[in-house]
Structure 1
Amino acid sequence: MDLKEINAKIEEKSSFVNTLNTEIHKKIIGQDYMIRRILIALFTNGHILVEGVPGLAKTLTIDTIARIISLDFKRIQFTPDLLPADLTGGLIYNEQNKEFEPKKGPIFTNILLADEVNRAPAKVQAAMLESMQEKQVTLGNTTLELPSPFFVLATQNPIEQEGTYQLPEAQMDRFMLKLKVDYPNKSQEREIMDLHGVNRNIELNQILKPEDIIDIRETIDNLYVEDSIKDYILNIVFATRDPERYGLSELANYIDFGASPRASIYILKAAKASAFLNRRGYVVPDDIKEIAKDVLRHRTILSFEAEAENIDSDNVIEEILANIEVP
């Protein structure tokens, strides 16, 4: 299939995008950045970690998307006393047949909102992250497949650190994207007041079905990516590991560990999804630039020197993007 045919196919397959966004914005004012990233991850079989203060419509957004796509949605409030079985389920003794039977936990859903994931102990975090990776849960001797599609949106509250268990870097690597969600602007907040300041029932139309997500994923896999674009991705990722090789010696003291190979894979996948949402059958450098920070910010581990100089991973990634040659 040549590029012209691919482009025509993508344009046809992505015809729902504008309608989907319009439907979402019936209930959600602003938050275009978060909405677009959720769709990118959902359409590429990835998961998202969101850092933002409470009240930024994270739950409302993901619940709205779930309704529009007719996906099963569950929310779990992570707390210090949460047990792995509270998430995955466990074995229940059946008096009638004198056997233990698996009882599914709330993780058996299409979309799971793991609220304040850093408040739960390491064992609970590990149970969730293992399920995210393997798409299955083992209860006793029984292995149960999770529903398809399966998508996790985990949140962290950046302003309350007391009583929290920081996600280890190796665990965070399982998330495709890490988002930093900020407050709406003044005009958007006025619209939010007008929309949600009174009780009203907003009807949402179903735009997609769960099986459509699987089809969209296959379509995105077939988008055209030039070798020069793949090299561009590799140069960005390798610059986080060996900045001096790319003429960025000033960054060497700020980076302890560069991004893992998952970063290259996820940048490619997310860039394809970005092109799809733009109704384009091929990836361009702007698709890479759009999602690079979200893929790399939790995979680029900075030194104490960077922290002392108030430099964060976004600053480092911006410098890399500004200096790596664009194809």
Structure 2
Amino acid sequence: MSLGSTRPAAHAADPLTPDELAAAADVLGRVTAAFASRVVGQDRLRRALLVALMAEGHLLVESVPGLAKTLASSTLAEAVGASFNRIQCTPDLLPSDIVGTQVYDPRHHTFTTQLGPVHAHVVLLDEINRASAKTQSAMLEAMQERQTSIAGEVHPLPRPFLVLATQNPLEEEGTYVLPQAQLDRFLLQEVLDYPTAEEEVGVLDRVDAGTLGRETSPVAAVVGPGEVEALQALVDRVYVDPAVRRYIVDVVAGTRAVGSLVGPELGGYVETGASPRASIAFFQVARALAVLHGRHYVVPEDVRELAHGVLRHRLHLSFEAVADRVRPEVVVDAVLAAVPTP
């Protein structure tokens, strides 16, 4: 069975059939194989990219340079037959450099619209915290509304549409911290670590073999954008039991009352908990993970699997937490341990 080339209407009451799950597994398997042919390791990044793509969200990645973020995002775009653009954020980057502008044509005495690099299926926004607040807002508006407005004319963004934004945690000079309200609009935040020694040897082997580097040929498209949209429609139909929905809400509510839930010592480190957007993110991520694992329904493990990614950027910790080097993951783990699992 094929997923088709157009996105069908979602019917939440219709359970996914075994044939539909098999077709989804086939699409995901082909994309995963294409990803692995170019990117060594980075399984967490691959999973986060797939989940964000399936759940129609966006991904914020924090890591030091050189961990294959550009390669991973461009490979994903090539594998699904999608367009890809990379935007290097700098303090002098203007909103028009991202969304586009009108250019005057002196030959015909008219203005023509020139679309910016955000008009692509997959957009890598490199070091987003180096862009000014005004430019960050322009990009995040495009992410939320999935359209841009140039001289009063609305231009829809292509579908599917995925933004991978990166932040470098090592350098803070000349950066603009993303406000909490803007961070909240990212479906997931992933924190990447260095590869293992074996994986790094594998990188050198591929460079020596000529399969990794500047002259590497692009990955052949193994699926099309239409199949991705059909996969997103399947995710919309995954069943989530009322008990699991309540579990999601209880976990998110627990981040707003950490002191009473797990004790005042840890609660004193949290100034504000997660907003209702976190509940929506859990709901979308859990359904995408269910399809990724070949199920037509969500289990509590799907909620917990990417709990760090859903919540780490949505918790506002106090200065005491920073001073004591308390990471948001510690708070998330404490909340998950305290909330009863259905």
Measured against the shorter chain, the TM-score band is over 0.9
Q: For 1:205-230, what per-residue CA distance to the aligned partner results, in whole angstroms no more than 9, with x for missing partners?
A: 42210011111111001011111111
| Alignment match of 1:27 (pick from 7, 16, 38) | 38
| Alignment match of 1:194 (pick from 205, 226, 238) | 205
CA distance in 2: counterparts of 1:195 and 1:138, whole angstroms: 43
Corresponding letter in the other structure for 1:107: V
- Partner secondary structure for residue 232 of structure 1: helix
Corresponding letter in the other structure for 2:324: E
Conserved in 1, the CA contact under 8 Å of 2:92 and 2:131? Answer: yes
1:232 corresponds to: 247
Which residues in structure 2 correspond to 1:223-302 (within 5 Å)? 223-302=238-317
| Alignment match of 1:163 (pick from 174, 183, 200) | 174
Which residues in structure 2 correspond to 1:130-209 (within 5 Å)? 130-200=141-211, 201=216, 204-209=219-224
TM-score by length of 2: 0.91
Call closer, same or farther: CA 1:269–1:51 in 2, change over 3 Å: same
- Partner secondary structure for residue 149 of structure 2: strand
Among all aligned residue pairs of Structure 1 and Structure 2, give the percentage whose two residues are the same amino acid: 40
Conserved in 2, the CA contact under 8 Å of 1:7 and 1:282? Answer: no
Corresponding letter in the other structure for 2:237: N
CA distance in 2: counterparts of 1:135 and 1:3, whole angstroms: 28
1:82 corresponds to: 93
CA distance in 2: counterparts of 1:3 and 1:45, whole angstroms: 20
CA distance in 2: counterparts of 1:188 and 1:21, whole angstroms: 17
Greater Cα shift, 55-64 or 196-205: 196-205
Conserved in 2, the CA contact under 8 Å of 1:6 and 1:223? Answer: no
1:213 corresponds to: 228
1:121 corresponds to: 132
TM-score by length of 1: 0.95
CA distance in 2: counterparts of 1:136 and 1:81, whole angstroms: 23
- Partner secondary structure for residue 26 of structure 1: helix
- 5+ unaligned residues in a row in structure 2: which ranges? 1-11
CA distance in 1: counterparts of 2:117 and 2:220, whole angstroms: 26
- Partner secondary structure for residue 124 of structure 2: strand
CA distance in 2: counterparts of 1:93 and 1:314, whole angstroms: 51
Conserved in 1, the CA contact under 8 Å of 2:81 and 2:225? Answer: yes
Cα deviation for residue 279 of structure 1 reads 1.2
Residue 106 (structure 2) pairs with residue 95 (structure 1): yes
Cα deviation for residue 115 of structure 1 reads 0.6
Residue 55 (structure 2) pairs with residue 44 (structure 1): yes
2:121 corresponds to: 110
Conserved in 2, the CA contact under 8 Å of 1:8 and 1:281? Answer: no
CA distance in 2: counterparts of 1:218 and 1:4, whole angstroms: 12
Q: For 1:35-54, what per-residue CA distance to the aligned partner results, in whole angstroms no more than 9, with x for missing partners?
A: 01000001111001100001
Call closer, same or farther: CA 1:62–1:5 in 2, change over 3 Å: closer
Call closer, same or farther: CA 1:198–1:319 in 2, change over 3 Å: same
1:56 corresponds to: 67
Cα deviation for residue 249 of structure 1 reads 3.9
Conserved in 2, the CA contact under 8 Å of 1:51 and 1:178? Answer: yes
Corresponding letter in the other structure for 1:121: S
Corresponding letter in the other structure for 1:91: Q
Conserved in 1, the CA contact under 8 Å of 2:100 and 2:116? Answer: yes
- Partner secondary structure for residue 113 of structure 1: strand
CA RMSD of aligned residues (A): 1.8
Cα deviation for residue 5 of structure 1 reads 5.6
CA distance in 2: counterparts of 1:143 and 1:9, whole angstroms: 35
Call closer, same or farther: CA 1:7–1:107 in 2, change over 3 Å: same
- 5+ unaligned residues in a row in structure 1: which ranges? none
